[in-house]
Chain A
Amino acid sequence: MDIDNIDGFSLKNLNKINIILGKNGCGKSSLLRALNNKRNDINNVGRVKYVNPERGGSLVTEPGIEQNVIQDSAWVTNSRTANQQSQFRQQSAAQYRALKDIVLEELEQAVKNGSSTAGLNFDIYIDKINTLLDEIEIKRVKSSFKIYKKGSTTEINATSISSGEAELISLGIEALTFAKEVNPTKVNLLLLDEPDVHLHPDLQVKLMHFLKKLVQSNDFQILIATHSTPILGALENYTDTHIEFMVAGQNTLTFEPISDIYKRILPVFGAHPLSNLFNEAPVFLVEGEDDERIWQQAVRTSKGKIKIYPCVCGNVTKITEYEVGVKNVTKAVYNNAKAYSLRDGDGATGDIPDEPPITKFRLQCYAAENLLLTDEVLTSLSIDWAGLKSKIDEWINEKKEKNTHTMIIWLTSKPMDMIEKAINSKILETT
């Protein structure tokens, strides 16, 4: 699905869940607020709800806010026009009652029509919110809810729970209420601006699984603006997720599936949303698994002095594809990003031009296997080049009589004077 020219922004190829990853100031919040504020310009629009990034307040019921929420279904949306909403959680608490009213009205209607009432039980919604919480739970109390230590009757004041727990309850209510309010024949957008705020990476993952289930069974789409790679990681295998890496000044966002390349380079980010791991140990793209093993060993042996994150691409063509992926990610996440790629020599010489932020290397020998023949490695294996040549000759002669292997045929057909030529003479002999 596409959304065209809303306050200058166009969104292409939207899916059920859509992630916008980008640095502070790149325009993510401006885009989401534009969709909220100019929602009537969206073709066939149904419901739109914006969840501000700076969500303040407590999960308590305030009569004035509750009255506004109950009387005007657009009041919440209209009140969220800036980054900050100091009474966000009071609004969430008020929507709890609205959610309850909707479910009870549906139940009443079903009974009246003689249709099935299965699923029209408000406790199901309470249970859904409680799946987000490990230490506490909410329970129905008259028209509102109270918070308890999980599995006990010990009540906890709403102002005493952690900000992460308050976030989860609040976002759970917001999302469930929205799912109930949508018009299934229209375009419905839940706009989550940095839902990861105050949430431990594990809780971010839990929230994403909650949203994934919700969006699968309801007719709406989610746009998530975030810096959080745990969120990306949580959704990487959900095929209805698309992503766009946004940069400052970008007005047209073309969303795409989370490709295998993005999945491979994701671990580079580590588990923390503010991780600068990419710059502390930049990704080091290599062609094959043997290259990856070599450089992983090098990092381990160097005890952290070699600072790279080896990542295997598969072959030299794939390295080029991975480089595009790395560029997309780094430009949206880091200033002054660094990344490396290493290609085999494959008979070529000289350096490859860099494509910032990627510094490109080419081995000055044919392939990584040839490093085995260097003086340093041979010395570590208690042998020198003359000794190795002698052992290779012995091995070839041993195999000659019964050989059918093409490599042996090739090796034995080469004149030994080829050995001393060129910079990679040892390599020439054993290739």
Chain B
Amino acid sequence: MGIIGSEKPWEVAIGQILGNLTYNTTTDFNLEGSIHNYLGGKLVQAIIPRV
């Protein structure tokens, strides 16, 4: 985080994105850089709120 110039704890940065994440049936799990892809479809579908 220091390299980026942010003082925010990295766990908080990730947690905030996860907290605002939503899932719908068209979510693309093949989009390489997306957080959905890193988390995996099973986890996203069970935990992330649906829209």
> Taking chain B's interface residues, is the majority helix, strand, or loop, or is none over half, making it mixed?
helix
Q: A308-B47, A381-B6, A395-B3 are in contact. Are A301 and B35 (CB under 8 A)?
A: no
Cβ-defined contact, B39 with A363, below 8 A: yes
Cβ-defined contact, B47 with A297, below 8 A: no
> Taking chain A's interface residues, is the majority helix, strand, or loop, or is none over half, making it mixed?
helix
Once bound together, how far apart are the Cα atoms of A71 and B11, in whole Å?
70
The number of residue pairs between A and B whose CB atoms lie closer than 8 Å in the complex comes to 120
Q: How large is the interface on B (under 10, 10 to 19, 20 to 34, 35 or more residues)?
A: 20 to 34
Cβ-defined contact, B14 with A371, below 8 A: yes
B26-51 to A contact mask, C-beta < 8 Å, 1/0: 00000011110111101100111100
Once bound together, how far apart are the Cα atoms of A301 and B8, in whole Å?
15
* CB of A197 closer than 8 Å to a CB of B: no
* CB of A62 closer than 8 Å to a CB of B: no
Contacts of A284 in B (CB 8 A): 47
Q: How many residues in A have their beta carbons less than 8 Å from beta carbons of B?
A: 47
Cβ-defined contact, B46 with A340, below 8 A: yes
CB-contact partner of B35 in A290, A359, A362, A371, under 8 A: A371
Once bound together, how far apart are the Cα atoms of A350 and B38, in whole Å?
12
Min Cβ gap A221→B in Å is 44
Cβ-defined contact, A426 with B14, below 8 A: no
Min Cβ gap A395→B in Å is 5
Once bound together, how far apart are the Cα atoms of A409 and B15, in whole Å?
31
Min Cβ gap B12→A in Å is 5
Min Cβ gap A391→B in Å is 5
Once bound together, how far apart are the Cα atoms of A381 and B1, in whole Å?
9
Min Cβ gap A303→B in Å is 8
Q: A293-B11, A295-B15 are in contact. Are A302 and B42 (CB under 8 A)?
A: no
Contacts of A407 in B (CB 8 A): none
Contacts of B40 in A (CB 8 A): 351, 361-364
CB-contact partner of A340 in B13, B39, B47, under 8 A: B47
Contacts of B39 in A (CB 8 A): 363-364, 371
Cβ-defined contact, A301 with B13, below 8 A: no
Cβ-defined contact, A372 with B49, below 8 A: no
Q: A293-B11, A372-B14, A383-B4 are in contact. Are A302 and B38 (CB under 8 A)?
A: no
Which residue of chain A has the shortest Cβ distance to B9 in the bound complex?
A293
5 more contacts with CB within 8 A, not counting A302-B20, A374-B38, are A295-B18, A302-B18, A351-B42, A373-B33, A392-B3
**What residues of chain B have their CB less than 8 Å away from a CB belonging to chain A?**
1, 3-4, 6, 8-21, 32-35, 37-40, 42-43, 46-49
21 contacts between A and B (CB under 8 A): A290-B11, A293-B12, A298-B21, A351-B40, A363-B38, A363-B39, A363-B43, A369-B10, A372-B13, A372-B14, A374-B33, A374-B34, A375-B33, A376-B21, A381-B1, A381-B8, A381-B13, A388-B3, A391-B3, A391-B4, A395-B3
